[in-house]
Structure formats: structure tokens, C-alpha cells
Amino acid sequence: MKGTEIIVKALKEEGVDTIFGYPGGQAVDIFDALYGEQDIEVILPRHEQALIHAADGYARSTGKVGVCLVTSGPGATNLVTGIATANYDSVPLVCITGQVPLGLMGNDAFQEVDIVGITNSICKYAVTVRTREELPRILKEAFYIARTGRPGPVVVDVPKDIQQAEGSDVYPDEVSMRGYKPNQSVHVGQIKKAVSMLKKAKRPLFLIGGGVNISGANEEMKQLAELTGVPVITTIMGKGAIPSTHRLYLGNIGIHGSYAANHAVSECDVLFSIGTRFNDRITGKISEFAKNAKIIHIDIDSASISKNIVVDIPIVADAKLAIEKLLEYVTPLKNEKWVEQLMQWKEEYPITMENYEGLTPEKIIRYINDHFEKPIVTTDVGQNQLWATQYLKLEGGRSFLTSGGLGTMGYGFPAAIGAKIGNPDSTVIAISGDGGMQMNIQELATAVALELPLILIVLNNGYLGNVRQWQELFYQKRYSNTCLRYRKSCESNCTDKSKCCPKYTPDFVKLAESYEAYGMRISKEEEIAEAFAYALEHKNAPTVIECVIEREANVFPIVPTGKTLDDMIMD
Ligand code: FAD
């Protein structure tokens, strides 16, 4: 078999039926091997960055490994942001990059880059295949590494001469790597210690992160909360770990977390965290984080434990296996007063945009909550994302896709394409801002070509809103380079929104129509229902709903940089 043929065989053996690819000189042989292939569909996005976000959306929403196939040089470097995005958020991807022939490597050959060197620090594993003989083993290992342990992206760089070389047609059944043995079991002794600490607690709290959604432990997590009666807060990646409407759920922690959730962390005496890496967006000032609490931490990756926050009881395990084990030992706890206090905070300090008139993101998202059953929602990055994390109600995992760790603008729309491909029967809604939407807007062509009925919400405030909010609150309203309505003829240092601003470009409705997608612009609350009804009419094409919102609406609460979670600015 040629190298290209064993690549196709590997994809089939790994159960891959969809790949996201963009051809070029050093990948053309692999595309040739895929020509006419019935079992593998190749999706052709219009830019490699969008391609990898689509593969990422496919992977996050299905739990399968997303596969990218691109050429060398710019094809490979265009994947870089998506690789880092997936790496932060633990998304399993295998990225196959074509490479110049072995003999030309290091010669500054046409479209040659050292993609392994470039991506080493932002992926789980990166390797250049050096011989035809090792190609099947490396591919097998790539899929194994991507999907096991803490999932992540793997880069396999395949020089053109290895693609063309003939060799064995055997694809291995098993993997054996001395240096990589992800933990499969749960240490019962540690589980018992954790249960004993929980039982002694007067103010216990579950902090649930993305690891619970990744492991699919949602049902078990709900049982654990209900059986113990311990309240639950989530990171934004853990949102959906238990239903957002659950009586024990307090909301998200973090710089944009809810009052009840953030105060609960400061007040609890045992913080039982599962599948979170305690990043700075959730801890605020580290020395003050959960200062009254003993901390238990379950995580599949030992490197996540005591990295940012030193914990008292570490447990290295898969969240689902660990929670199943916990369910064998826990009993109902008596902490009614504590729960009452938290529920009172939740009621007294709800997150809301009621002080803004007209069309607000809150109203749009509440419409989604009320009218769609288990949609998959993707977001871009910025205010659109934060409002979605605050107002969206979720009932499970794999239905909320957002770039949490890297915060990659341009993620939301292509991720929705991948999610829809992976879940053709689900309604898929992408919530973006006008800034992020323009970072991968060319994907309207892909969505139209694939006849995908996506609902694309563009919250248009004419600003890079999240940064503008920071400028408003912490930089004396010096709106440096955040206005997207700016034209050269504008007055410099303009901060007066009542002035007659230039027209917004692009016209998102006309732009959608130019791609043969559909578009509608709304600016009033009463138009929300009509816009969604219009979108749902189109079964074979995406619809852009441009929502013209209050220009200077802010995301509250917000914790200023370096402050503690208790220092939230509420309004
Ligand atoms: P991840 O980063 O996804 O980490 C998952 C953890 O689970 C890892 O430690 C991993 O090893 C582990 N894991 C993986 N698989 C398993 C398994 N099978 N079993 C057990 N463990 C497993 N986030 C907030 O929460 N609040 C905010 O206010 C906030 N504000 C933000 C603002 C902006 C503008 C942006 C862009 C992001 C913001 N974020 C916020 C997101 C933030 O940057 C992080 O992405 C997020 O907090 C990480 O949550 P996490 O640690 O739970 O999940």
C-alpha cells in the first residue's frame, strides 16, 4: 500500500466518517486517495482556521475525534490558532499536515515550515513521520493520544515522499507506549478520604468544570448533588454538568460569575471540585480563593492538580468513574441553613439586563431557552459569549461550545458548522458578535454549499464590545480602536454615542444574501419571534439574524483584574 492508502485505511479503522480538509501541493496525494471514497466525507471549508474550528465543533458536540487534513506551510500554520484553542479546552483532534519531501526538509523549500516545532507547546503531541514503516503505528498512536486521558489535539506531519512510498498494509490493533499510560482507575482510599471530609463539612460546595462534560458524567453528577444535597456551581466549561434549572444549581463562578456562586466559594468550608483546572478567570486573586475551605480535586490529568490552587485531597481519575465510586459512599448531608443562605443570594442577586431597554441579548437568549428543545449553541468570544454563559439554560453536556481557554474570536460560526455536520437532527445556533462574525464570515459559503440550516445570531453593537467595556470601566472611556463604525473622517477620540455615526458595514443581511443564505435585521424585542420563525422556514440554508443591540450594554457582574471574587462590580 502507498502511504496515502494506509492513511485512508487508518481513518476507516478509527471509525472516521467525516474529515475537514483543504488541499494543496503537499496534501494532493492524500486527497487523491480519498477521491471517490464512499465511507469518508471530506468537508471543504473556505479557510484552514475555520476548518479546524469546524473539526473542533464536530468533536466537542459528538465526543468523536475531529480530523483535519491540510497542506504544508500556510495550510499548516493556518491551523495553529485552532490547535491552541483545542488544546486549552481538551478537544480531541488529529491534524494531518502534508510536508515537503524528507530530502528538502530544512532547505527553506517552497511552503516548508517546521509545524511540529511551531505547535509543540500548544498541542498534546506533534510528530513528523520519518519512515513509511512507522506511519501506521504513528497514526494509531495519534488517535489514541487524542482521545484518551485529558483529550487534546495531535499533529501528524507527513512528508510527501512518505505519502507516496509503498509499504505494509497492516494497521495495528493496539497501542503500547511506555511514556504514555493515562490513568484508568480510581483510588478508593482517596475517595473514602474525600467522602469523610465532605461528611464533616458544614458549608460544602461542588465546583464542577469542563472535565465532567467531557467524561459524560452529567447524569451521575446530578445524582451526586441530589443524594448529598450539596449545591453546585460550574465554570463556564462545566455549564450543563447538571441542568441549569436545577434547584441546587447556583450558576457560574468567575470574573463574570453570579453573586451567589462567587460568594459561595469564599464562604464554603469544603470545596469539592471535579474536572476544572482553576484558571485565573475563575480564581480571581489566588491568595484569597476559597480561603475558608479545604479543597478536594478530581481530575484526569495529574498536571492540573495543585498547579494553580494547592489542594488537600487530590484524586487523579476520570470524572465519571470517580463520581460512580463516590455514589457508593456518600449519604445525605445536613446543611439546610447553608443551602438556604445560598438560595437567598441567588434570588436576591439574579443576573439580568433589565435595566437596558429594547432588544437585549438576555431577551434573545431567553427566547432560545423557551422555544428550542436541547439546541446546540456555539458562541464566539467576548460579550456575546459571556451573555450566553449567563443566560443560556442547558440540560446536559456537549450542547454548549465555546472557546474558553484561548478565547478565540472567529470560533463560533465554524464550530456551528462542525456541530451541525455531527448532529444533523439538532438545531444548531451560533451566537456571535459583529467583530467575531467577521473573522470567519467566508464560511457562509461552506454552510450554503453543505445546505446547513444554521441559525446565526449576530449581536451587533458596532464595537469590539468586551474590550470597549474594559475601556469604559477601567480606562476612563478611552475607546482606543474598538469602534467598528469608525471611518477616517470621524472625530478623533469620539466617546459620544449620540453623535451621528457612520453607517455600519458590512450589511450582514446583504452579505448573507450574496452567499445565497438568508438574512434578517431586527432591533426590537417584538421582532425576535418573527426572526426565529423566518430562520426555521429555511431547511437547507443558513439564516443570519442580525440583532442591533444597545451599543454600550455591559456584562455584569465583573471582577476587576487582580481583585478577589468578592470584589464583583454588580452594575
Ligand atoms: P477546562 O479548561 O476545559 O479544563 C477541564 C479540566 O478537566 C482539565 O483540568 C482536564 O484535565 C480535566 N478533564 C478532562 N477530561 C476529564 C475527565 N474525563 N475526567 C476528569 N477530568 C477531566 N470561565 C469561567 O468559569 N468564569 C468566567 O467568568 C470566565 N470568563 C471568561 C471571559 C472570557 C472573555 C473568556 C474568553 C473566557 C472566560 N472564561 C471564564 C473561561 C476560562 O478562560 C476557562 O476556559 C474556563 O474557566 C475553564 O474551565 P475548566 O477549568 O472547568 O475547564
* CATH for 141: 3.40.50.970
Q: What is the DSSP letter of 166?
A: B
Mutate to test the pocket of ligand 1, among 274, 299, 432 (most ligand atoms within 8 A of CB): 299
Q: Is the CB of 404 under 6 A from ligand 1?
A: yes
Q: Is the CB of 217 under 6 A from ligand 1?
A: no
Angle at 531 (CA atoms; ends 526, 535), nearest 5 degrees: 160
Shared domain check, 517 and 369: yes
Q: Residue 205 in contact with residue 231, Cβ under 8 Å?
A: yes
Q: For 377, phi and psi rounded to 5 degrees?
A: -115, 130
pLDDT at site 67: 99
Q: What is the pLDDT of residues 381-427, one digit of tens each?
A: 999 999 999 999 999 999 999 999 999 999 999 999 999 999 999 99
Cα 149 to Cα 1, 183, 216, 304: the distances in Å are 32, 7, 14, 12
Identify the residue whose C-alpha is closest to ligand 1 atom 52: 209
Shared domain check, 324 and 204: yes
Shared domain check, 223 and 102: no
In a domain, 73, yes or no: yes
In a domain, 170, yes or no: no
Shared domain check, 128 and 82: yes
Shared domain check, 158 and 15: yes
Shared domain check, 205 and 92: no
Q: Residue 539 in contact with residue 502, Cβ under 8 Å?
A: no
Final residue belonging to a domain, choices 348, 375, 403: 348
Question: What's the CA gap between 119 and 115, in Å, rounded?
Answer: 6
Quick one: average pLDDT of 86-91?
Answer: 98
Number of structural domains the chain divides into: 3
In a domain, 183, yes or no: no
Q: What is the pLDDT of residues 37-65, one digit of tens each?
A: 999 999 999 999 999 999 999 999 999 99
Shared domain check, 491 and 367: yes
CA-closest candidate to residue 91, choices 184, 179, 211:
211
The conformational region for residue 295 under phi > 0 = left, psi -120 to 50 = alpha, else beta, is: beta
* Distance between Cα 550 and ligand 1 center (Å): 29
For residue 301, which atom of ligand 1 is closest to its CA?
Answer: 11
Shared domain check, 524 and 389: yes
Q: How confident is the model at residue 493 (pLDDT cuts 50, 70, 90)?
A: confident
* Distance between Cα 64 and ligand 1 center (Å): 20
In a domain, 311, yes or no: yes
Q: Residue 79 in contact with residue 139, Cβ under 8 Å?
A: no
Q: Is the CB of 304 under 6 A from ligand 1?
A: yes
Site of grid cell 439580568: 352
Q: Is the CB of 407 under 6 A from ligand 1?
A: yes
Q: Is the CB of 251 under 6 A from ligand 1?
A: no
pLDDT at site 293: 98
Q: Is the CB of 257 under 6 A from ligand 1?
A: yes
* pLDDT greater than 80 at residue 84: yes
Final residue belonging to a domain, choices 292, 320, 348: 348
In a domain, 424, yes or no: yes
Coil, helix or strand at residue 51: helix
Identify the residue whose C-alpha is closest to ligand 1 atom 50: 276
* pLDDT greater than 80 at residue 495: no
pLDDT at site 498: 67
Q: Is the CB of 49 under 6 A from ligand 1?
A: no
Question: What's the CA gap between 557 and 537, in Å, rounded?
Answer: 37
* Distance between Cα 280 and ligand 1 center (Å): 10
Question: Rounded to two decimals, what is the model's pTM?
Answer: 0.98
Shared domain check, 385 and 523: yes
Q: What is the pLDDT of residues 206-235, one digit of tens each?
A: 999 999 999 999 999 999 999 999 999 999
Shared domain check, 482 and 339: no
- Domain span including residue 197: 188-348
Long-range contacts of 221-226 (CB under 8 A, 24+ apart): 221/274, 221/319, 221/323, 222/246, 223/327, 224/323, 224/326, 224/327, 224/330
pLDDT at site 419: 98
Shared domain check, 518 and 371: yes
Q: Is the CB of 253 under 6 A from ligand 1?
A: yes
In a domain, 561, yes or no: no
* Distance between Cα 241 and ligand 1 center (Å): 12
Shared domain check, 325 and 260: yes
